[in-house]
């Protein structure tokens, strides 16, 4: 019987070769494996139970970069927290009841309409649906708009 002699260099070369080969095979199988079907509801952010939101209040969702406005008549409107001028993050000023951009002083009303330039169009809004008494916001598809329309407000 012939004895196989493996030195350290050959051992590590073979180890590297086989690990790269196995990684390549794994990547190929992952690419060929059929993906799991996404349901339409997976693209929506669950903002919470409808009863949580009081009429006439603004709710910030900073991690998702939007504000959820519960209008005094009970409607919902989700507006982006990114200024349409240069993309700075707007803040809601409770004292003035408006959004204000700290970068260039643009201001927007509670529906996102421009009150003072340099922004020249309203804040983007996000589509909303209701499911199981929850407000679901489609944060993956902001809608650019030239003006605010009543159809952008959603009612339960």
Top-confidence residue, 84 or 6: 84
pLDDT(117) > 90: yes
What is the average pLDDT across 61-71? 91
CA dist 124 and 106 (Å) reads 14
Q: How confident is the model at residue 105 (pLDDT cuts 50, 70, 90)?
A: very high
Q: Which two tokens stand for residue 151?
A: 């159809």
Where do the domains of the chain lie?
40-152
What is the model's pLDDT at position 42?
67
Alpha-carbon distance 44 to 25, whole Å?
34
pLDDT band of residue 41 (cuts 50, 70, 90) is low
| 3-state SS class at 44 | coil
Half-sphere exposure of 142 toward its Cβ, with a 13 Å CA cutoff?
16
124 HSE (CA, 13 A, CB side): 20
The CA-based angle 62-115-45, given to 5 degrees, is 25
pLDDT at 1 over 90: no
- The two three-digit tokens of residue 20, written as one number: 């790269």
**Confidence at 92, pLDDT banded by 50, 70, 90:** very high
Q: What is the pLDDT of residue 39?
A: 53
Out of 9-18, 39-48, 51-60, 70-79, least confident range: 39-48
Three-state DSSP class for 84?
coil
Q: What angle do CA 105, 111, 114 make, to 5 degrees?
A: 35
Which CATH topology does 40-152 take? Rieske Iron-sulfur Protein (2.102.10)
The predicted structure's pLDDT at residue 37: 54
Q: Which of 11-20, 37-46, 105-114, 136-145 has the lowest mean pLDDT?
A: 37-46
Phi first, then psi, for residue 64 (nearest 5°) are: -105, 0
């Amino acid at each position: 019987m012939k004895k196989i002699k493996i030195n350290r260099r050959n051992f590590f070369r073979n180890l590297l070769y086989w690990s790269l080969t196995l990684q390549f095979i794994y990547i190929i199988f992952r690419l060929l494996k059929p993906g799991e079907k996404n349901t339409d509801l997976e693209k929506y952010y669950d903002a919470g139970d409808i009863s949580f939101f009081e009429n006439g209040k603004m709710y910030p969702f900073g991690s998702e970069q939007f504000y959820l406005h519960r209008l005094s008549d009970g409607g919902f409107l989700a507006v982006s927290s990114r200024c349409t001028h240069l993309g700075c993050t707007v803040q809601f000023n409770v004292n003035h009841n408006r959004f204000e951009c700290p970068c260039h002083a643009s201001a927007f009303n509670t529906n996102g309409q421009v009150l003072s330039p340099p922004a020249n169009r309203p804040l983007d809004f996000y589509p909303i649906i209701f499911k199981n008494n929850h407000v679901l916001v489609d944060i993956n598809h902001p809608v650019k708009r030239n003006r605010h329309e009543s159809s952008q407000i959603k009612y339960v």
